[in-house]
């Protein structure tokens, strides 16, 4: 009976205002069968430092977070 634990980012979504939602699933696997899992989400707002983001999330953010998207997001924050 071998237990393993894996964590992967299984979903990355881009919202209308440029926010990027990243979902990470952590699975406990016993002999090839998933016996438990949990989910965690975090958000990457336009303009955020991407140093600690995974490769996929970083690539998407660098593509989506153009200077125009960052400026529009900052303007939205200031208006609220």
- How many Å apart are CA 76 and CA 80, to the nearest integer? 6
Q: Reduced to 3 states, what is the DSSP secondary structure of residue 23?
A: strand
- How many Å apart are CA 31 and CA 1, to the nearest integer? 6
Give domain limits for the chain: 3-79
Q: Is the pLDDT of residue 13 over 80?
A: yes
Q: Is the pLDDT of residue 80 over 90?
A: no
Write the DSSP symbol of residue 63. Answer: H
The pLDDT value given to residue 1: 76
The pLDDT value given to residue 57: 95
Question: pTM for the complete prediction?
Answer: 0.85
Q: Reduced to 3 states, what is the DSSP secondary structure of residue 5?
A: strand
């Amino acid at each position: 009976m071998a237990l393993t634990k894996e964590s992967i980012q299984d979903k990355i979504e881009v919202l209308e205002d440029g926010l990027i939602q990243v979902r990470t699933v952590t699975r406990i696997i016993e002999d090839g069968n998933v016996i438990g899992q949990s989910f965690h989400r975090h958000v990457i707002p336009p303009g955020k430092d991407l140093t600690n983001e995974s490769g996929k999330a970083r690539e998407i953010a660098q593509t989506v977070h153009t200077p125009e998207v960052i400026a529009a997001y900052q303007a939205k924050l200031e208006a609220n």
